[in-house]
Amino acid sequence: MLDKFRAALVGVFYCLRTQVNMVIHLTAAAAVVAAGVYFHVRPWEWAVLTLTITMVIAAEAFNTALEVAVDLYTSKYHPLARIAKDVAAGAVLMTAIGAIIIACIIFGPRLGLY
Ligand SMILES: Nc1ncnc2c1ncn2[C@@H]1O[C@H](COP(=O)(O)OP(=O)(O)OP(=O)(O)O)[C@@H](O)[C@H]1O
């Protein structure tokens, strides 16, 4: 059990070491948490923000896993490898767009945006 937990942590640190995007997502998440504290967001808003942050980070981790698996399969150009990686990257993009929309909904009025 402890071994599985350790292996999962190794995976997390692999993402942090190798993926610039993961560092960007975590920096954005830290900024959102700081804004949440500053604006005293409500408990249900914390729940939405937590889910959103987790979703983006998990999508980036799955994207990394897929990239590694594709690279294991082939280092040569292959149209299906391109599609697999592009779709995984697209999934991260969709979660990031969703996160921006949620940030606008929660922080927009507090920033006087609408
Ligand atoms: N074996 C391959 N065959 C065809 N196209 C590929 C292959 N490997 C990568 N690509 C193309 O290059 C792009 C970048 O792939 P790469 O493995 O460098 O990911 P990355 O730049 O680390 O992506 P991310 O920023 O999402 O981590 C892919 O989205 C894909 O379009």
What is the chain's alpha carbon radius of gyration, rounded to the nearest angstrom? 17
Residue 16 tokens read as: 């942090």
* 2-107: CATH class: mainly alpha
From the alpha carbon of 74, which atom of ligand 1 is closest? 1
4 annotated as a binding-site residue? no
Measured CA to CA, the distance from residue 96 to residue 58 in angstroms comes to 11
For residues 84 and 66, is the Cβ–Cβ distance under 8 A? yes
Distance 80 CA to ligand 1 centre (A): 11
From the alpha carbon of 85, which atom of ligand 1 is closest? 29
45 annotated as a binding-site residue? no
**pLDDT tens, position by position, for the chain (114 residues)?**
889 999 999 999 999 999 999 999 999 999 999 999 999 999 999 999 999 999 999 999 999 999 999 999 999 999 999 999 999 999 999 999 999 999 999 999 999 998
pTM for the predicted model, two decimal places: 0.93
